[in-house]
């Protein structure tokens, strides 16, 4: 199979990344519905719907905003503006969704933590989306730097690059089953599973960004890495608490 993978159906070229992106949303949501039916949800259906809407709106804004900040020096032409409007990143979506949920909960006066039910569906959705990123090769800015290591793969430009999407797929598999085991075998407080997921995923993305050909840096870090640091600071009290408990 050649990468980028650009199949044709009835004479039309298929955007495999876009298809897998929509599939990721569909499968993740259906998995969330399945988990909610099997669990006892302390949040009412109306409040849960408000939280989902808050998450969706926050994710939409966050994904576009961080996508824009990853291209701060782009020339403002009509073509580039349309490209910027379509640029999005899962990192901005996750953190924007988090802020959207917190805002929605304040509006509806919901005190219960709401993130744990979303953890495994989110990981599944990211996994499906990352398959699309890998198959898109250099058409999506998720590829890695040129490398001479045994892991190098030609992603469409004739150069051996770090397949960072594949690295993430492996990490997501380990993360999915690790968090599933923790959920079933640990006495976590409500909401803590989501915090652990965010810290681990953002931690992974912080380090894997060093393997990507990022151009725009602030204090030696990319926009995504700065967002990772902001996420860690956001959960700093949780981190300190867990360190104290471990001691």
Q: Closest Cα to residue 145, out of 134, 156, 160? A: 160
The C-alpha atoms of residue 224 and residue 90 are separated, in whole angstroms, by: 10
The C-alpha atoms of residue 121 and residue 32 are separated, in whole angstroms, by: 6
Q: Closest Cα to residue 209, out of 224, 231, 187, 227? A: 224
With a cut of 90, say whether residue 215 has pLDDT above it. Answer: no
What tokens appear for 202 in the block?
A: 């953002």
How many CB atoms sit inside 10 A of residue 180's CB?
Answer: 14
With a cut of 70, say whether residue 170 has pLDDT above it. Answer: yes
How many CB atoms sit inside 10 A of residue 7's CB?
Answer: 12
Q: Closest Cα to residue 35, out of 101, 94, 120, 128? A: 120
Backbone angles phi, psi at 219, to 5 degrees: 45, 40
Question: What pLDDT was estimated at residue 186?
Answer: 86
Confidence label for 86 from pLDDT (cuts 50, 70 and 90) = low
Residue 156 is classified by DSSP as S
With a cut of 60, say whether residue 84 has pLDDT above it. Answer: no
The reported pTM is 0.88
Question: What pLDDT was estimated at residue 77?
Answer: 54
pLDDT tens digits, one per residue of 87-145? 678 888 899 989 998 898 888 887 777 678 889 999 999 999 999 988 888 887 788 89
């Amino acid at each position: 199979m050649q990468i980028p993978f650009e199949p044709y159906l009835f004479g039309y070229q298929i955007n495999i990344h876009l298809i897998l992106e929509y599939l990721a949303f569909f499968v993740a949501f259906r998995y969330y519905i399945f988990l909610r039916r099997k669990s006892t949800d302390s949040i009412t259906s109306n409040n849960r719907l408000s939280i989902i809407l808050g998450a969706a709106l926050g994710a939409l804004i966050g994904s576009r905003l961080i996508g824009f900040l990853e291209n701060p020096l782009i020339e403002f032409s009509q073509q580039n503006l349309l490209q910027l409007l379509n640029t999005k990143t899962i990192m901005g979506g996750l953190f924007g969704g988090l802020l959207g949920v917190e805002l929605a909960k304040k509006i509806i006066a919901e005190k219960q933590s709401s993130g744990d039910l979303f953890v495994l569906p989110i990981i599944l959705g990211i996994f499906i989306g990352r398959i699309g990123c890998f198959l898109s090769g250099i058409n999506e800015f998720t590829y890695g730097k040129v490398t001479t290591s045994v892991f190098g793969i030609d992603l469409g430009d004739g150069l051996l690059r770090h397949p960072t999407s594949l690295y993430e797929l492996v990490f997501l598999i380990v993360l999915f089953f690790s968090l599933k085991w923790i959920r079933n075998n640990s006495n976590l407080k409500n909401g803590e599973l989501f915090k652990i997921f965010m810290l681990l995923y953002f931690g992974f993305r912080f380090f894997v960004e060093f393997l990507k050909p990022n151009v725009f840096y602030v204090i030696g870090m990319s926009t995504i890495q700065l967002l990772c640091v902001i996420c860690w600071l956001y959960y700093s009290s949780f981190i300190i608490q867990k360190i104290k408990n471990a001691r």
